[in-house]
Structure 1
Amino acid sequence: MQTKENRNRMWAFIILYVLGLNVCQASGEGKSTQMQYVKLIIEESAINNITQILKGFDYNNIRVDNLTKTTRFVHLNMTPSPVCSSSHPSITCTLQEDLKTPPLWKLKRTDGEFEIFNGTESGVTSAPAVTSVRLDTKISERWEETDKFCPAQGDWKDTKADYTAYLKCPNAAGQRQRKCSAGGTWEAVVAHCVNLDVNLALQQAIIVDVGLGSPDKNAANVFSLLGNITNNTKAINSYANMNATVQVLISLSQKSISIVEESAIYDFLESSSNLLERPLKDSWTLNTGESNSSLADSYLTSVEKLIQKTNKTYTNKQNNLEVMASICTKGSPCSNTVFDVTVNLEPSLGSVKTAGFKELQNYLTEEKDFEPNSIVVSTTMTNTESKELKSVNVNINFQLLKPRPPNVQIKCVSWDNNTRSWSEEGCEWKGSSEERLCTCTHLSSFAILMSRYPTEIKWLTEVTYVGLSISVVSLIISMVIELTVWSAVVKTIGSYLRHTAHIHISLCLLIADGCFLASSNPKDLTEMWCKIFVLLKHFCYLSMFFWMLCLSSMLLHKTIFPFHQTSKKAYMRFFLFLGYVCPLLIAVITFLGYNGGAKDVYFSSDTCWLRYSGLMKGSIHTFVIPVGIIVLFNVFSMLVVIMKLLDHPINTDKSNENENEKKAALTALRSVILLTPIFGVTWIFGFAVMLLDLTIGTVAFVVNYAFTVLNAFQGLFILLTTCLGDKLTREALLNRLRKNDSASTTDSSTKLDSTWKQ
Structure 2
Amino acid sequence: MAREDYDCRNEELGVGKTDEVKTGVCGKGLKGTFTYKCESRDWKPLEDNCVLEVIDNLKNKLQSLRVEEIPGFMADLSSATAKHDINITQSAATVQAIVDILFKIADLSQATSINNPVMGSFLNTVDIIVSGNVSDTWSKLNKGNNTEDTSIKLLSAIEDISDRLTDEFAINETSIQLNRTTIKNSFNITSALPNSATEIVIPQVPQETTITIIIFTTLDKVLPSQGTNDSRKSDVRINGDVVVVKVNETLNNISFAFDITNQSLGNPQCVFWNFNLSNWDSTGCEVKPYISKGNETGKITCECNHTTSFSILMSPFSIKNIALAYITYIGVAISMASLIICLIIETIVWKSVRRNDTSYMRHVSIVNIAVSLLIANICFIIGAAIAEQEQPTSVGRCSPAVFFMHFFYLALFFWMLMSALLLFYRTVMVLSQMSRAKMMVIAFIVSYGAPLLIAVITVASTAGPQNYISKRNACWLNWLESKALLAFVIPALTIVAINLVVLIVVLYKIMRRVVGAATQPDEKHALVVIARCVAILTPIFGLTWGFGIGTMVSQDLGIHVVFALLNSLQGFFILVFGTLLDSKSTSAGTSSTSGLTAFQRMQRRTAAEIRSWNLKVCPVEVGCRRFMANGTVIGYG
Query: Greater helix percent: which structure?
Result: 2
Larger radius of gyration: 1
TM-score by structure 2 length?
A: 0.48
- Structure 1-normalised TM-score? 0.41
Higher relative contact order (CA 8 A, sep 6+): 2
